[in-house]
Amino acid sequence: MPDGAAPVLDVKGLKTVFQTRSGKIHAVNDVSFDLRPGELLGVVGESGSGKSVTMMSLIGLLPSPPADVCAGQVLFGGRDLLKTDADALRGIRGKRIGFVFQDPMTSLNPVFNVGFQICEPLRKHMGLSKAAARNRAVELLELVGIPDARRRLDDYPHQFSGGMRQRVMIAIALACDPEVLIADEPTTALDVTIQAQILELVKDLREKLGMAIIWITHDLGVIAGIADRVIVMYAGQVVEQAPVQELFSNPQHPYTRSLLKTIPSVSGDRAPRLQVIEGQPPIQMKAPDACPFLPRCAHGFDRCAAENPARLAVGQGHDVACFWDPATGGPRHV
Amino acid sequence: MSTPRKLVEVRDLKMHFPIRGGLLRRIVGAVKAVDGVTFDILEGETLGLVGESGCGKSTCGRALLRLYEVSGGSILIEGADIAEASPEELRRMRPKMQMVFQDPQASLNPRMTVARIIGEPLLEHTSLSKAEREERVYELMDQVGLNRAFANRYPDAFSGGQRQRIGIARALALNPRFIVCDEPIAALDVSIQAQVVNLLEDLQDKLGLTYLFISHDLSMVRHIADRVAVMYLGKIVELAPREPLYSAPLHPYTQALLSAVPDPDPAIAARRQRTILTGDVPSPANPPKGCNFCTRCPQVMDICRSVDPEFREVAPGRFAACHLLDDTVSASGHGPGRGAQDQKTNQQGSMT
């Protein structure tokens, strides 16, 4: 995709805190990224790294309180979504930005048949008649590869298998031809052979529909297979961003580097022992004033404790938030 | 080194759960969760048991320790049949075999301190004094890398990885020979999984443990297992040493399963030929006639829809259940003509 193209979605300096009884949790800390037309942006990180909260913050899906999206800008279609009122936002969600969540069982309503659930956005957002919406729903189910689509419209979610439910979710998300699709761990609850089916489907749909996709996952294998560009999140921050080939062949951040080494693969060399990242991800009870990865980092030095590194360009479309330089094994000279 | 001893011998193990229906709650059918599996686990090895959800791998692991009353078959652990053992005999056998569960949150009592959780098996099965028990609990905590100072805390004060360490310490308390690890890392974050797997490997080296490692994560099983069994819909479709299984899988299901695993390398991912299976796994309450995999198999033949393939040794140490392999084995054993003929007679025999 052309580098110069104006982004569909531009997120700048996003911050989200949760007010809890034991204090403020800084879940998203100054996150910036953009999404370009037609690309698939992978977002990786462990649980608690803030990847889901980031996405929910930018389209106003977090209940407030306890959540407070306290800073930043989310530019989409010429306006700032954070300054958009709830009504207008409702007109964008589901219409221009579609969503697929991790667990298709809990995100579908068990008491309505899937036909109703697919038609709902079509009638609300597109103003289609009942019959027209139903026809479009059949088209959508066929698009996502559900056999015998017309008859299955009257089935309830529990009559579908996990993989088929996820296809229904994708059909709902695609209903209004969104410009952006946000998929939050859409295949994590599925078996590998079903996951492979969904990944093929998404690749196929991208070619057909050409929308931009944000794909959240903790599975680097999935990312390697489908993403164009990747951002790596840790403790509510983007620690590295790179084109997918570059990230896997030339990772810069110590977290990305060790993450890539900790995962075994089904092909390639088999290491006699897995590399370990000692310790565990932090819970941010205060705004970060040092590198959040420092306690688990093998390369940290005094500067990492004194300030939180800003993201620094290290290559074409590649930036990293780290003071350490893997090329020299010493501090990065800025 | 001499040939390793068989520690566990499972023969034609069946675990059927009744389906009740109607007014009188009569048995109207059965979920054949495990339907005739046969395998050995050698002393000191790790046998990986892989498959998709619902294939019966966890049920198999639990039945092995007789956490269920099995429906059929035998399970010999060090020569003693656990499937037939009386409750008293079973109780005496328990210390030898232990289990590590998937969900460290659900398998630890939230109202018991770590020391009590780890010490409970000791209280139940040994006559150690209080001081001795305490000493052993500390020793176990050291062994699994838990800080002794936390002995009096409750499970909710620990992270997922640490809780799994508590579960492992409890399993180790009675010096078992054999541990069934049921998806021990599935609930953990990627960076924590490696910590737990390395711990399990260290303990195996140190204590000479034998593991049945149940997992849906094929790449992790490739890392930890010596031999791997692949289950599909209640049956083992293929069992082989690790390297040949991953480099040259024989069964079409194993091939499809391996090709579905995403590779964490974009270059390999782009190059790879994928076999995408269509459809879903059939219900174990109503498995298809013939081979269980015939509804999704990309290479299905007529015979597969009528005759259930036998699970047998198709090459030294390699077992599989597939009609596609009928030819190849006969070819290497008796010459090609004979093999084709055999298959034909089989087919005819079953048709009539």
- DSSP for A252-317, please give it: -SHHHHHHHHH---SSS---SS-----S------S---S-TTGGG-SS--HHHHHSPPPPEEEETT
| E strand or H helix that includes residue A184 | strand A180-184
How many other CB atoms are found less than 10 A from the CB of residue A301? 13
pLDDT tens for A204-262 read 888 888 889 999 998 888 999 899 999 999 999 999 999 999 999 999 999 999 888 88
**A84 Rama sector, left if φ>0, alpha if ψ -120 to 50, beta otherwise:** beta
Pairing of strands B26-42, B6-21: antiparallel
Is the CB of residue A271 less than 8 Å from the CB of residue A260?
no
Reduce the DSSP state of residue B188 to 3 states and report it.
Answer: coil
Q: Nearest Cβ partner of A259 from B190, B198, B267?
A: B190
Minimal-distance CA residue of chain A relative to B274? A196
Q: Nearest Cβ partner of A275 from B53, B194, B246?
A: B194
pLDDT tens for A169-185 read 888 888 888 899 999 98
Average pLDDT rounded to a whole number, residues A314-318: 92
Q: Which residue did the predictor score with more confidence, A164 or B255?
A: B255
pLDDT tens for A113-170 read 999 999 988 988 888 899 999 999 998 888 888 888 888 899 998 888 777 888 888 8
Is the CB of residue B182 less than 8 Å from the CB of residue B62?
yes
Taking the C-alpha atoms of residue B153 and residue B143, their distance in angstroms, rounded to an integer, is: 18
Average pLDDT rounded to a whole number, residues A69-98: 88
Taking the C-alpha atoms of residue A243 and residue A230, their distance in angstroms, rounded to an integer, is: 6
8 Å CB contact of B280 and A164:
yes
Residue type, A202: V
Taking the C-alpha atoms of residue B112 and residue B114, their distance in angstroms, rounded to an integer, is: 6
- Rounded to the nearest angstrom, the minimum Cα separation between B104 and chain A is 16
- From chain B, which residues contact A within 8 Å (Cβ)? 52-53, 159, 161, 189-195, 197-198, 201, 216, 218-220, 222-223, 246, 256-269, 274, 276-278, 280-281
Q: Which residue did the predictor score with more confidence, B346 or B95?
A: B95
8 Å CB contact of A264 and B159:
no
Considering chain B, tell me which residue range(s) the CATH 3.40.50.300 domain(s) occupy. Answer: 6-225
> What is the 8-class DSSP label of residue B304?
G
| E strand or H helix that includes residue B46 | strand B46-50
Burial bucket for residue B255 (CB in 10 Å: 0-12, 13-18, 19+):
middle
Mean pLDDT value across chain B: 87
Q: Nearest Cβ partner of B192 from A164, A195, A280?
A: A280
In chain A, residues with a C-beta closer than 8 Å to the C-beta of B159 are: 280
Q: Which of B207, B220, B155 is nearest to B179 (CA)?
A: B207
pLDDT of B328 reads 53
Average pLDDT rounded to a whole number, residues B105-118: 92
Confidence label for B330 from pLDDT (cuts 50, 70 and 90): very low
Minimal-distance CA residue of chain B relative to A244? B266
Q: Nearest Cβ partner of B219 from A46, A193, A264?
A: A264
As assigned by CATH, the class of the B6-225 domain is alpha beta
Minimal-distance CA residue of chain B relative to A257? B191
**Confidence check: pLDDT of B274 > 50:** yes
Token digits of residue B100: 């590590």
pLDDT of B333 reads 40
Question: What is the dihedral angle through the alpha carbons of A118, A123, A125, A127, rounded to the nearest 10 degrees?
Answer: 150
Tell me the percentage of chain A whose pLDDT exceeds 90: 38
Q: Which residue did the predictor score with more confidence, B201 or B267?
A: B201
In chain A, residues with a C-beta closer than 8 Å to the C-beta of B216 are: 191-192
How many other CB atoms are found less than 10 A from the CB of residue A122? 23
Residue type, A289: D
Q: ipTM score here?
A: 0.78
pLDDT of B237 reads 96
Is the CB of residue B33 less than 8 Å from the CB of residue B234?
yes
Mutate to test the interface with B, among A265, A269, A277, A278 (most CBs of B within 10 A): A265
- Rounded to the nearest angstrom, the minimum Cα separation between A225 and chain B is 5
Reduce the DSSP state of residue B263 to 3 states and report it.
Answer: coil
pLDDT of B2 reads 58
pLDDT of A175 reads 86
In chain A, residues with a C-beta closer than 8 Å to the C-beta of B265 are: 224, 248, 265, 268
